């Protein structure tokens, strides 16, 4: 009994310095992380000011700052996100909805630099999609105007427009009123009414 008690005391005494060391290391680690948090927090107002000056959406800025307030984001992550949003705005791209994406990524456990990379990638992907959609829309428009002009060209122009020749693509067909009415009657014979 006495021996076990002695052994227990010895074991406790031997682990005490180790425990003290780990406690010191933890204290140092928290001190370093505190300083890092303080630095990032002190840069937050400047980052926000620059983002506002660039024209970044106020709603998105406010959402990120509120996430920092409610400890869903660290100060460093918040500042980094706002800086990425500012760069994005300078490139002429919208940041709408990006604060929701940040919240989703944090919920998945993405943090620190990885979060910044994910936000940047997401904004670039959204921009690409918008550019492609824009291109697609303009191509469709061109196709439509092209087919309309082709149908105009294929219509007989000889009746009212001898010597007019073929029209170039891109030009809108100009027809004399006489030829137009002749063509309309030619196209729609059923509409003739006998008076």
Query: What single DSSP character describes residue 158?
Result: T
Q: Given candidates 44, 54, 103, 118, which one binds other proteins under the rule CB under 8 A?
A: 44
Query: Which lies closer to other proteins via its Cβ, residue 62 or residue 131?
Result: 62
From the CB of 12, what's the least distance to other proteins, in Å? 33
Q: Give the residue among 68, 60, 66 at the shortest CA–CA distance from 41.
A: 68
d(CA 131, CA 183): 42
From the CB of 66, what's the least distance to other proteins, in Å? 8
Q: Retrieve residue 109's tokens.
A: 């456990």
Judged by CB under 8 A, the stretch of 61-69, 114-122, 139-147, 149-157 that binds other proteins is 61-69
Kind and range of the H or E run holding 137: helix 112-154
d(CA 89, CA 58): 12
* Binding to other proteins in span 83-142, by CB under 8 A: none
Q: Retrieve residue 125's tokens.
A: 């992907």
d(CA 186, CA 135): 39
d(CA 144, CA 130): 21
From the CB of 63, what's the least distance to other proteins, in Å? 11
From the CB of 42, what's the least distance to other proteins, in Å? 3
- Cα dihedral 23, 28, 30, 33, rounded to 10, equals -160
Report the interhelical angle of 2-54 vs 75-90 (nearest 10°).
20
Q: Given candidates 37, 122, 153, 183, which one binds other proteins under the rule CB under 8 A?
A: 37
Judged by CB under 8 A, the stretch of 16-24, 67-75, 142-150, 163-171 that binds other proteins is 67-75
* Binding to other proteins in span 15-34, by CB under 8 A: 34
From the CB of 31, what's the least distance to other proteins, in Å? 8
From the CB of 174, what's the least distance to other proteins, in Å? 56
For other proteins, the binding residues (CB under 8 A) are: 34-35, 37-39, 41-42, 44-46, 48-49, 52, 61-62, 65-66, 68-69, 75
């Amino acid at each position: 009994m006495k021996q076990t008690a002695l052994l227990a005391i010895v074991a406790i005494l031997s682990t005490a310095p180790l425990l003290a060391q780990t406690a010191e290391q933890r204290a140092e680690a928290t001190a370093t992380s505190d300083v890092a948090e303080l630095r990032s927090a002190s840069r937050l107002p400047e980052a926000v000011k620059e983002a506002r000056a660039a024209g970044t959406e106020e709603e998105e800025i406010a959402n990120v700052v509120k996430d920092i307030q409610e400890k869903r984001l660290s100060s460093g992550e918040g500042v980094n996100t706002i800086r990425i949003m500012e760069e994005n705005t300078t490139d002429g791209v919208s940041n709408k909805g990006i604060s929701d994406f940040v919240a989703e990524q944090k919920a998945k456990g993405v943090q620190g630099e990885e979060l910044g990379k994910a936000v940047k990638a997401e904004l670039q992907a959204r921009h690409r999609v918008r550019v492609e959609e824009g291109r697609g829309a303009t191509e469709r428009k061109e196709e439509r105007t092209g087919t309309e002009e082709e149908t105009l060209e294929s219509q007989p122009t000889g009746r009212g427009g001898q010597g007019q020749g073929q029209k170039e693509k891109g030009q809108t067909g100009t027809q004399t009123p006489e030829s137009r009415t002749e063509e309309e009657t030619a196209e729609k014979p059923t509409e003739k009414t006998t008076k």
